[in-house]
Structure 1
C-alpha cells in the first residue's frame, strides 16, 4: 500500500486547493476541479489522435485496451461516474494521470476514443489500490467501468506489467504534475500546442530530472 501526503511543507497548497485536492476527501460532497481539467486534456488529446487514426497502429501487446467502437459515454461523464461510484480520493486521479502518462511512453500507444475509457478505469483502480487506505475490489470497479470482471482483471495485469509495476510517485513528482495541470487549465487547455508536464521521468531513474517531457497528448 502506498502513501502520498499532499499537505507537506514542500508543496504548494494553493495549487491543491485550486485543483480540489484539499478539502475534498473520500465521500465528501462536491466535485473537485481536477476532474474537469483531466477530462478536457484527455478529450483534446483523443480528438487530435482520432483525426490521425488512419496512421496510428494498434500495438498487439496492448490491443486489450482497444474496443471495437467508441463508448457512447463522454470522457467527462465517465470520469464523473468513476469519482461518484469509485469511492477514491481526488488525488487518485492525478496519480492515474501519471500512470497513463508512463503507460503511453512505455508502450508508445496513442490515446484514442477506442482505448481511453479502459485506460481510465484501470489507472484509477490501480491508483486507488496504491494510495488509498480502503478501496473496492476489481468486480466493483468492473461494474463502475462497464466491463466484465475477467476483463478488468486482464486490463489490470497488462497495465501493471506495462509499467513494470513501478507505481511509486514521489511528492516532488506529484507536485510538478499538479503544477502543470493547473497551468494547462489557466492557459485554456490549448490544443494547438503539445501538452507537457514536468518531472515525469523521475520515477524511472535515480537521477534528478527537472526538465519537461512529452506526455499523454499522444
Structure 2
C-alpha cells in the first residue's frame, strides 16, 4: 500500500466524512457529497473537451464507449441513478474516477457527452466488483445503465484490457483523489488534463427495478 503524507493523515478522516465516504452526522448517508463533486468535475471536463474539439475542428477517436447522441439524463442524474440502484459504496465512485483517469491516459479519446455515461457505468461496475464485498452482476448494471447485457459485457472487457487489468489503487492514490474532489467542492482544483466521454442509448429501467442478482467472480490483480 502507498504511504500517506503526514498532513493528509491529520485530516484524512475529515475529508472522508465530508465526501460521505464514511458515515457522518453532517452528511446524509443516502446522498454522499462525492456524487455531486464527481458529477461536477466530469461535466466541466466534458464542456472543456467539446469546446476544444470544436475550436480545433479535431475529430475525436470513436470507440465502443461512444454513442450516436448524448442521452437525456445529465451526468449528475446518471451518477445519482447508479448510486441509488446499485447500492455500491461511495468509495466506488472515487475508484471509478481513478479508473477513468487511467483509461484516458492510455487511450487517444476525449471525455465528451457521447462517451461519459458509458465510461461512468463501466468504471463504477468494475470498481464495485473489485472493492465491495457484495455487488450486482453485469445484467443488473446493464439495466441500470440503459444498455443491453451484450454491450455491457463488451464495455467491461474493453475497459479492463485498456487498463491492462491494473485495478489496484494504493491508499496514497485514493487519498490524493479524495483531496482533489474535496478541492473541487471549494472551487480550487483546476483540471489540467482534459477528460472525455460519450453517450449511450436512451432506454432506462422503469420503477419496477430488478431484485438483487447473482454476483460474479471477483477480479484478480
Given the two structures, how large is their TM-score scaled by the length of structure 2? 0.78
Q: How many residues align?
A: 185
Residue-by-residue CA offset, 1:29-80 (whole Å, 9 max, x unaligned): 42000000011111111112222334343335xx100000000100000000
- Provide the rounded CA distance (Å) in 2 between the counterparts of 1:147 and 1:56: 28
TM superposition shift of 1:111: 0.4
TM superposition shift of 1:183: 1.2
TM superposition shift of 1:185: 1.3
Matches within 5 A, 1:6-21: 10=9, 12-21=12-21
Q: What does residue 47 of structure 2 align with?
A: 47
- Provide the rounded CA distance (Å) in 2 between the counterparts of 1:217 and 1:147: 19
Is the CA contact 1:49–1:110 (under 8 Å) kept in the aligned structure 2? Answer: yes
Residue-by-residue CA offset, 1:139-189 (whole Å, 9 max, x unaligned): 000000000000000000000000000000000100011111111211266
Is the CA contact 2:109–2:196 (under 8 Å) kept in the aligned structure 1? Answer: no
Q: What does residue 76 of structure 1 align with?
A: 76
- Provide the rounded CA distance (Å) in 2 between the counterparts of 1:216 and 1:58: 12
- Provide the rounded CA distance (Å) in 2 between the counterparts of 1:98 and 1:56: 26
- Provide the rounded CA distance (Å) in 1 between the counterparts of 2:80 and 2:70: 18
TM superposition shift of 1:108: 2.7
TM superposition shift of 1:215: 6.3
Which structure has more relative contact order (CA 8 Å, sep 6+)? It is 2
TM superposition shift of 1:88: 0.4
Is the CA contact 1:36–1:76 (under 8 Å) kept in the aligned structure 2? Answer: yes
> Which deviates the most, 28-37 or 111-120?
28-37
User: 5+ residue gaps in structure 1?
Assistant: 4-8, 197-213
User: 5+ residue gaps in structure 2?
Assistant: 2-7, 198-221
Matches within 5 A, 1:157-196: 157-187=157-187, 194-196=190-192
SS of the aligned residue for 1:70 comes to: coil
1:92 aligns with 2:88: no
Q: Residue 60 of structure 2: which of 58, 61, 72 is its match?
A: 58
Cα RMSD of the aligned pairs, angstroms, is: 2.2
The structure number with the bigger radius of gyration is 2
